[in-house]
Amino acid sequence: MSGPRMQDFHRIEVRTDRASGLKAVFALHNLTLGPAAGGVRRWHYDSEDDAVTDAMRLAEGMTCKNALAGLPFGGGKSVILSDGKPVTRAQLRAFGRWLDQLGGEYVAAEDVGMTVEHMKEVRRETTFVTGIGAHPGPKTAHGVFVGIEAALEGKVTGTRIAVQGLGAVGMALVELLHAAGAQLVVADLDEAKVQRATALGAERAGTEEVLLSDVDVLAPCALGAVITPETARHLRAKVVAGSANNQLSEPLAGHILHQRGIRYAPDYAVNAGGIIHAGYEYLGWSGAMAQIDGIGPRLTAIFAESKATGEPTHVIADRMAHAAVAARRSHDAAPAAAVA
């Protein structure tokens, strides 16, 4: 996926509420498939420009994620700029009012720095919130697990897997991998979370050191851009498959992984379990788990095409996602063309 361009976006807004001290960015990328859907991230940024760039990258990724998952949603993301203090009720309610003013163009769920309880407070001001029936983290973890199974061709038992980041998704993934008989290496800045994982027999590593662990699979489950070209040149893992968004710092990193024979599960293909769960909840559909299980076959198809064509998996996934959007655009335009 290339870097985001302003002209490709349906809407980019920076809003400030002086009364509560809230500042947030809304980035709605492409609404061809339906209203934008994506999480609300609360994070500290060095500048407003950094927050806008992050929101844009995440929103563009959501367009691809939703398209590849077969969801009737476009891509969107919002980020709340954190001042290091706990988010207040007044800020959450103000965010909800802003969300409501978008009139359904954007459907929001929780993301890094936010909780389901936070989103329930946002929900008091708008109906355009989802993922509050149950935490989506375990659903994302399940999707990553079946993605790892696909990458390993079903051979999880006895494999050595490193998990970077033990948040709601990373810890749930650790539990699934432990139950499947994997040997684990874990890393997180929160010592309590590391201790919880080591109680399951996992080895501990530093948050940077873990990336170069001698393992079969590396699962980045924290923040993005951890696979730089330099890291890609020195990885010892045979597979990269995790829940973090935008794992590749730039496309070159994906090309290096491919050249070295490291199987990369494109992040927005493997981490779609949470948005599938939240999307089905919003639409009132049943069958979300079956769709999440479909992550495995979708990745298998990507790996097969990569082997057949010699193209990197991230290039193939981008093409598949863009094709889904283009097909919908052509379908919508067809009646008008026929009348003309």
**In the numeric block, which tokens belong to residue 190?**
């929160």
Residues linked to residue 59 through DSSP beta bridges, in sequence order: none
The Cα 72–Cα 205 span in angstroms is 40
Q: Cβ neighbours of residue 201 under 8 Å, at least 6 residues apart?
A: 178, 183, 184
Active-site annotation holds for 193: no
Q: In what order do the strands lie in the sheet with 106-110?
A: 11-17, 22-30, 74-81, 36-43, 106-110
3-state SS of 114-174 is CCHHHHHHHCCCCCCECCCCCCCHHHHHHHHHHHHHHHCCCCCCCCEEEEECCCHHHHHHH
Q: Do 257 and 227 form a contact (C-beta atoms < 8 A)?
A: yes
Active site residues: 77
